Structure 1
Amino acid sequence: MPTESRQALVVSGSGPDASTATATLYRDDGEGWRAGPAWPARNGRRGWTTDHREGDLRSPVGVFTLSDAGGRLPDPGSRLGYDRSDAFTVDGTGFEGEPLAGSFDHVIAIDYNRVPGTSPLDRRRPRGGRYGGGIWLHVDHGGPTHGCVGLRPEHLRELLLALDPARRPVVVMGDAETLAQ
């Protein structure tokens, strides 16, 4: 983890092929790291991978910065750059038949194969398209994701309000066994 980071959202999956996880925001206020509450989360349908590829239905394992946010709804007061756009609209159904509407009401871009400092909608992929991209923290729609991390709406909103760019926030994500190494 970068030494300058003072906020870390740890998303820990129950197993390498599991699509459920727990997310906890840790903060270092100068007196050591303190954990916030544990929130239920969803991740990629096929679990986790250290070699993420476009369409593999796995969430990438690693430590990634969090620099930009956006959504269909107005900015709730985030200190991250926020892009409000109707382009965040999604419809249809997920893998388990759950409705996807509202999933992108608020999102936080995970800086995996993207250009930090741009809208989460920016489709540029610095490592190339085969490594995928568009990996976000977004509203949990009640089922597994294509590779993003889903949080309940109230938890995502709380996270949007808590993240502070001056604290260099990161997400540490993967299955528990891999993260323990």
Structure 2
Amino acid sequence: MIDPQILQVEQRLAELHISPGRVDGVFTKETAVALWALQKLNGLRPVSKLTPATLRALQRPRRIHAPVRDGVVVDLSRQVLFLYERGKIRLISHVSTGANRYYCMKGRCGYAVTPLGDYRVFRRVHGWDRGPLGSMYKTMYFNHGIALHGSKTVPRWPASHGCVRLPMHVADRLFRQVEVGTMVRVRP
């Protein structure tokens, strides 16, 4: 059933370049992760509901300064991704990056970290890509085996082996906009 308030919220999120998935007035998982991005950008704890503070942030969001002209910026501290084109934000998304812990899985061990630095996308894989640590959707590699990719599980905290996990609907959109050679900047 269509909820007029949710429809307005989804429309506003889309205006702010935070993809809520389908703008249809139905509160979905996609709507929830879009709210998380908005909440994190405004210094709020990410929750899957419309709190009074969230509604205020929708009306008067904190201003975001474009640190780059083009490319992807991954903000590790807030667990948010930005896509810039010609100095303007085109997409903002909640993400989950490296868990910053030691792991052993399927005979592979390592430290789950998303490395800081400036990189370029060097390989893209349309559809599902089966790696040694799991499956990735619409994969965009930028540092050896580390990539931006869609995942069915994108928790509110750093949880990956080092990749930047994206909500599935965001991975679809980002994959259409990010080509080989696109800059990916990972910041603290």
TM-score, scaled to structure 2: 0.51
Q: 2:116 aligns with which of 58, 61, 65?
A: 61
Note the 1:13-162 alignment, pairs <5 A: 13-14=76-77, 21-28=79-86, 33-46=87-100, 55-73=110-128, 88-89=129-130, 103-110=135-142, 112=143, 133-140=144-151, 141-143=153-155, 144-162=159-177
Gaps of 5+ in 1: 15-19, 48-53, 74-87, 93-99, 113-132, 176-181
1:38 CA displacement: 1.6
Structure with the higher fraction of residues in helix conformation: 2
> Structure 1 pair 6/164, CA: closer, same or farther in 2 (3 Å)?
farther
Shift in alpha-carbon separation, 1:69–1:150, aligned structure 2, 3 A:
same
What secondary structure, in the 3-state scheme, does the structure 2 residue paired with 1:89 have?
strand
Q: How many residues align?
A: 110
Letter in 2 for 1:106: K
* 3-state SS of paired residue (2:160): coil
Larger Rg: 1 or 2?
A: 2
| Equivalent-residue separation in structure 2 for 1:65 and 1:91 (angstroms) | 22
Unaligned runs of 5+ in 2: 1-67, 102-108
User: TM-score, length-normalised on structure 1?
Assistant: 0.53
RMSD: 2.7
Q: Return the letter of the residue paired with 2:79.
A: A
AA at the equivalent of 1:142: V
Higher relative contact order (CA 8 A, sep 6+): 1
Cα deviation digits, residues 81-136 of structure 1 (max 9, x gap)? xxxxxxx23699xxxxxxx6xx41320111x2xxxxxxxxxxxxxxxxxxxx3001
Counterpart AA for 1:21: Q
